[in-house]
Amino acid sequence: MILTDRTFRTLLNREILRFTRVWMQTIVPQLLTSLLYLVVFGIALGGRIKEINGIPYLEYILPGIALMSLITNSQMNSSWSVFDAKRERYIDEVLISPMSDLQITLAYSLGGMLRGVVMGAGVFLVGIPFVGVSIEHPFLLVFIGLLASFTFSAFGTMVGALATKIEHISFLTSVVIQPLAFLGGVFYSVEMLPQSLKLATLLNPIFHTVDATRYATLGISDVNPYPTIAIVLLLAALSFAGAWWTIHRGPNLRY
Amino acid sequence: MTGVTPALRIEKLTKTYSTGLLALDGVSLEIESGKFFGLLGPNGAGKTTLINSVVSLARPDSGSVEVYGKDAFREFREARRMIGLSPQEINLDKFLTVEEALLFHAGYYGVPKVKAKVRANELLERFGLVGKRDQRTNTLSGGMKRRVLFARALMHDPKILFLDEPTAGVDVELRYKLWEYIRELNRGGLTILLTTHYLEEAEALCEEIALINDGKIAAQGTSGDLKEHYGARNIEEVYMKVIGHDSDR
């Protein structure tokens, strides 16, 4: 009912149309950034690292870079979409429609999730000519990709609905998500860190998604992947609940 | 009127904003099906808050709202499907073209695609928007945007239409065209709730008028009743007597 309802499908289509229509802003620059990471870290600096846990360095960092792109894009998509709609008040059209708040939250979150997945898959495709990755657990990879993308897209929906200034949205991307992504073990194994930093990394939610992605792709991970997947599931539930609450009862949409 | 379900029934609606402002103070109002109803009052009187409370953009503290017998909060899907709203502030989706704005709106209300396409063509024609159908809404002039808002509000064939200050900033030609069309829709059975600052227009168009001030209904009746009751020649005089009197307190 929720997912087949025309009202819900229309909002989801609108969300997809939004990022595909401006693909020169939403897709191309992000893919280029990821390609630069591969070139700079993988090819230029990677020559000095050779391999981690028996895996060539470029191959080791590819899943993490794909996931970093997936996470930043999914949260950016929904946070900007909701914030823009709220700032220019066209979100009112959706809020007064016969859609439930649950459907509204889900449509924004799934729209962002799809952009994240497109970007994550795009980075893999761009990276394959360099490393020729073979995927160890493809179904798990798709599952983790969807779950991580949904989690951060729902989080973006919540922030977009709560934000009252553009700065709040850019703060989320550049001061919260990107540093956490860089410190989430994309470019190194936590085993290479001192004990205190290793413990701190375990508190970083992005680390768990990166580690689980690496396990699904390469079959290696820093921590046992299954408790990690449980943590990501919990994060997804918490983010979505938060997003739903801000759409339903949050202070800045309805008065 | 016993036994006939009113188009809109509002009972003891109260709304206090977080700033402490009491925007609606126990408002009760009933609009018969098929009526052209005018809601008049000064800025900040509570007109938009009243409309927003019916469509759940404002969260009332207490009171009840029914749209054709459907509870606006518990049966919100059914209630909202029957309401069309042309808001005071222009709020068009800037990512969409004019035609898409209409089609997506219909989709949000569950209207099947084929039906929506036919309706969109009809309304684009009606509002002189055919030449603009593929233009993005954010590139339109103010008057054109206003036309899209009217067309959008009618896309899902509502049973009651809320027009919140629809002619603010609209040129004379469009205003007359709009009134002509709205009258025609009303003759076809559409219930209309209009808020406006143009008192002579309210007098010409509305069968029944309510004056709202400080979140309360200060007077209500047909234009003839109100003029007789207040010994006034026109609605402007009634307005001055009721609102002016209230403002003096």
Q: If you average pLDDT over every residue of chain A, what do you get?
A: 90
Task: Could you list the beta-strand ranges (E) of B19-124.
Answer: 22-31, 36-40, 62-67, 70-71, 83-86
For the record, the structure tokens of B31 come out as 């609009």
Cα dihedral sign for B142, B147, B152, B154?
A: positive
Q: Which long-range contacts does A56-59 make (Cβ < 8 Å, 24+ apart)?
A: A56/A131, A58/A127, A58/A130, A58/A131, A59/A131, A59/A133, A59/A218
The predicted model gives A18-46 an average pLDDT of 84
Q: Which residue of B has its CA nearest to A7?
A: B108
Q: Return the number of other C-beta atoms located less than 10 Å from residue B18's C-beta.
A: 7
Residue B116 lies in a domain: yes
Task: Could you list the beta-strand ranges (E) of chain B.
Answer: 8-16, 22-31, 36-40, 62-67, 70-71, 83-86, 160-164, 191-195, 208-213, 216-222
Predicted confidence at residue B175, as pLDDT, reads: 84
Report the share of chain A in percent with pLDDT over 90: 52
Predicted confidence at residue B70, as pLDDT, reads: 96
Å from B58 to nearest chain A CA? 5
Query: Could you say which DSSP state residue B130 is in?
Result: G
In chain A, how many domains are there?
1
Cα atoms in the 13 Å half-sphere on the side-chain side of B174: 17
pLDDT digits (tens, 9 = 90+) for A3-14: 789 999 999 999
**Rounded distance between C-alpha atoms, residue A244 and residue A236, angstroms:** 12
Residue B139 lies in a domain: yes
> In this structure, are residues A96 and B91 in contact, taking their beta carbons and an 8 Å threshold?
no
The verdict on a CB contact (< 8 Å) between B81 and A99 is no
Domain of residue B121, residue span: 93-153
Q: How would residue B246 be classed by pLDDT, with cut points 50, 70 and 90?
A: low
- A187-210 as b/e: b if 16+ CB within 10 A: bbbbeebeeeeeeebeebbbbbbb
pLDDT top residue among A46 and A178 = A178
Å from B95 to nearest chain A CA? 6
The verdict on a CB contact (< 8 Å) between B91 and A6 is no
User: Which chain B residues are within 8 Å of A85, Cβ to Cβ?
Assistant: 93
User: Which chain A residues are within 8 Å of B99, Cβ to Cβ?
Assistant: none
3-class SS of residue A203: coil
Residue B182 lies in a domain: no
**Rounded distance between C-alpha atoms, residue B82 and residue A93, angstroms:** 14
Q: Which residue of B has its CA nearest to A86?
A: B91
Domain of residue A56, residue span: 6-248
Please determine, for residue B1, whether its predicted confidence score (pLDDT) is greater than 50: no
Please determine, for residue B4, whether its predicted confidence score (pLDDT) is greater than 50: yes
Residue B148 lies in a domain: yes
Please determine, for residue B121, whether its predicted confidence score (pLDDT) is greater than 80: yes
Least confident window among A15-29, A96-110, B81-95: A15-29
Q: What stretches of chain A show up as alpha helix (H) in DSSP?
A: 6-21, 23-26, 28-37, 46-49, 57-87, 91-95, 101-131, 138-162, 166-171, 178-182, 195-202, 205-218, 225-248
Residue B142 lies in a domain: yes
Residue A254 lies in a domain: no
Please determine, for residue A43, whether its predicted confidence score (pLDDT) is greater than 80: no
In total, the C-beta contacts within 8 angstroms joining chain A to chain B are 80
The verdict on a CB contact (< 8 Å) between A7 and B95 is no
Q: Which residue of A has its CA nearest to B149?
A: A93
Residue B230 lies in a domain: no
- H-run or E-run covering B107: helix B98-108
3-class SS of residue B158: coil
User: Which chain A residues are within 8 Å of B100, Cβ to Cβ?
Assistant: 17
The verdict on a CB contact (< 8 Å) between B94 and A90 is yes
> In this structure, are residues A86 and A224 in contact, taking their beta carbons and an 8 Å threshold?
no
The verdict on a CB contact (< 8 Å) between A18 and B92 is no
Residue B13 lies in a domain: no
The predicted model gives B17-22 an average pLDDT of 91
In chain B, how many domains are there?
1
Residue A253 lies in a domain: no
Q: How would residue B245 be classed by pLDDT, with cut points 50, 70 and 90?
A: low
The verdict on a CB contact (< 8 Å) between B76 and A98 is yes
> In this structure, are residues B161 and B154 in contact, taking their beta carbons and an 8 Å threshold?
yes
pLDDT digits (tens, 9 = 90+) for A65-97: 999 999 999 999 999 999 999 999 999 999 999
Q: In what order do the strands lie in the sheet with B62-67?
A: B22-31, B8-16, B62-67, B70-71
> In this structure, are residues A127 and B109 in contact, taking their beta carbons and an 8 Å threshold?
no
The contact set of A with B (CB < 8 A) is: 5-7, 9-11, 13-14, 17-18, 21-22, 84-85, 88-90, 92-100, 251, 254-255
Please determine, for residue B2, whether its predicted confidence score (pLDDT) is greater than 60: no
Å from B57 to nearest chain A CA? 5
- What are the residues whose beta carbons fall under 8 Å from the beta carbon of A48, sequence distance 6 or more? none
Least confident window among A181-195, B102-116, B235-249: B235-249
Predicted confidence at residue A233, as pLDDT, reads: 92
Q: Which residue of B has its CA nearest to A15?
A: B95
Q: Is the ipTM of this complex over 0.85?
A: yes
The verdict on a CB contact (< 8 Å) between A10 and B56 is no
Q: Which residues pair with B13 in a beta bridge?
A: B27
The verdict on a CB contact (< 8 Å) between A14 and B93 is yes
- What is the maximum alpha-carbon separation in chain A? 59
Q: How would residue B249 be classed by pLDDT, with cut points 50, 70 and 90?
A: very low
Q: If you average pLDDT over every residue of chain B, what do you get?
A: 91
The verdict on a CB contact (< 8 Å) between B85 and A96 is yes
